[in-house]
A and B are shown apart, each in its own frame.
Chain A
Amino acid sequence: GESVGLHLPTLSVQEGDNSIINCAYSNSASDYFIWYKQESGKGPQFIIDIRSNMDKRQGQRVTVLLNKTVKHLSLQIAATQPGDSAVYFCAENIQTGNTPLVFGKGTRLSVIA
């Protein structure tokens, strides 16, 4: 069945460096992907999304890359700040019908000042 996973459960990054959070998905029918950020004590918040007809999408300090060949998704955060410390989830949506998002297990990003 479809699954969404992450290569690294935890990531520590020096403040000011760039962060890269990875995600693998197994369902080739997935055509919509989202990254969420969850800070301690809060619900997940939408960061950025990408559709399968794109390879790259940029937001403010964040970039999502999609490699459909190897079913890989990544979130790049430029100039990581202490406020970026959180758990990051990727989620996928498959093409057939109105199906719920499938979430990965999350990666904790810790920013070292």
Chain B
Amino acid sequence: DVKVTQSSRYLVKRTGEKVFLECVQDMDHENMFWYRQDPGLGLRLIYFSYDVKMKEKGDIPEGYSVSREKKERFSLILESASTNQTSMYLCASSLGERGGYTFGSGTRLTVV
């Protein structure tokens, strides 16, 4: 069964910490995405990548960075976590220019 795996379901971090959220897909998909999901705001795109070592800013990249050293892994980095980054983070992948996304189960991050 193909899937997207996010390394943590729940995470609690302190303000100012550097946080790494990991995402791995086993479908050989070129495209990978990071979204955050907040009540009333839906899914907002943070960063995406269409190839290894390639990254593009989404709608809300401030305070985040990403890394894609291997095709199957896309990491989201919070350089200095803040309380307004408390959210559900969703990773997704897709094949080619068309087609739906396959999502991971999400990481609920709380910054205290």
With A32-B98, A100-B33 as contacts: A105 and B103 at CB distance below 8 Å: no
Check A43 against B106 for contact (C-beta < 8 Å).
yes
Complex CA gap A11/B101 in Å reads 25
Q: Chain B interface: which of A13-21, A44-52, A59-67?
A: A44-52
Please indicate which of the listed interface residues B40, B42, B48, B58 has the most CB atoms of chain A within 10 Å of its own CB.
B42
Check A105 against B41 for contact (C-beta < 8 Å).
yes
For chain A, give the interface size range: 20 to 34
Q: How far is the CB of A10 from chain B (nearest CB, A)?
A: 12
Q: How far is the CB of A80 from chain B (nearest CB, A)?
A: 23
Which residue of the partner chain B has the closest CB to A101? Answer: B101
Check B103 against A43 for contact (C-beta < 8 Å).
yes
Complex CA gap A23/B38 in Å reads 19
Can you list 5 pairs linking A and B with CB atoms under 8 Å apart? A36-B100, A93-B98, A98-B31, A105-B42, A106-B42
